[in-house]
Chains A and B, each alone.
Chain A
Amino acid sequence: MQEQNIPNRLKLARVERNLTQAELAERVGVTRQTIGLIEGGGYNPTLQLCIRLARATGKSLDDLFWNRGED
């Protein structure tokens, strides 16, 4: 089964916070490549990582990962 990647607004949130991918990666304990892949929709992070990303960017999970167009 093909895994469906979820579009997200992580890049926007990161830029709003003036963080580079490497800085955000350092804060949440992953590699820069992982952040790049999440932003590009190439990797679905675990819920634990989603929560860390939300905390690091000062956003809610909804803000980052909920696609309102699909409501």
Chain B
Amino acid sequence: MLFHPMRIDERQRDTTRYAAAIWLGVTQLLLVGVIFYRLYILGQPDEQIRDFQAVLAISLFGYMGLQLFLGGIMPNPTWKGAFVMYVVLAGAITIVCLFIYGWPKVEEWTNTWLPALLGPAILVVAYMAIARLGHWRIERQIERMSQ
């Protein structure tokens, strides 16, 4: 026998989850670094890093979404709350982009106004859906256990 038999217990499962979360964060940071390196050091155009951006977005939002869903404890905003969230998000993005890039040309609205206004809307709707689904899942779990 080359190795002693290994036993996986709850502490090791905790450690595995902890290590996975840390390393996911490191991987995401590295991916951000790659994107910045390609954009600003190599001077590659935006179109050539779309795949990296997509993977980063899926990783970040997937992780956060899964946590919200499985936790089932996120504050569930009202429609009014969601509208305020949207206005604040879209406003912040618009102001920062206007400050950096200036006022965009009208014919470029699909690359400027559309993502700035539609992106936050998608984020807020996704957040609301995940928060509500998470609550629903936990409530069903509690119901099943009390039966």
Contact = CB atoms under 8 A, between A and B. Distances in A.
Contacts of A46: 10
B10 A45 contact: yes
Interface residues of A, number: 12
A33 B9 CA distance: 10
A25 B10 CA distance: 12
B127 to A, nearest CB: 24
Contacts of A29: 7, 9
B12 A31 contact: yes
A47 B10 CA distance: 11
A60 to B, nearest CB: 21
A59 B105 CA distance: 76
A34 B15 CA distance: 12
A43 B11 contact: yes
Contacts of A43: 11
A27 B7 CA distance: 12
A12 interface: no
B7 to A, nearest CB: 5
Contacts of A30: 7, 9-11
A5 B28 CA distance: 31
Interface of B: 7, 9-12
Given A31-B9, A43-B11, 10 more contacts: A30-B10, A31-B7, A33-B11, A34-B9, A34-B10, A34-B11, A45-B10, A45-B11, A46-B10, A49-B10
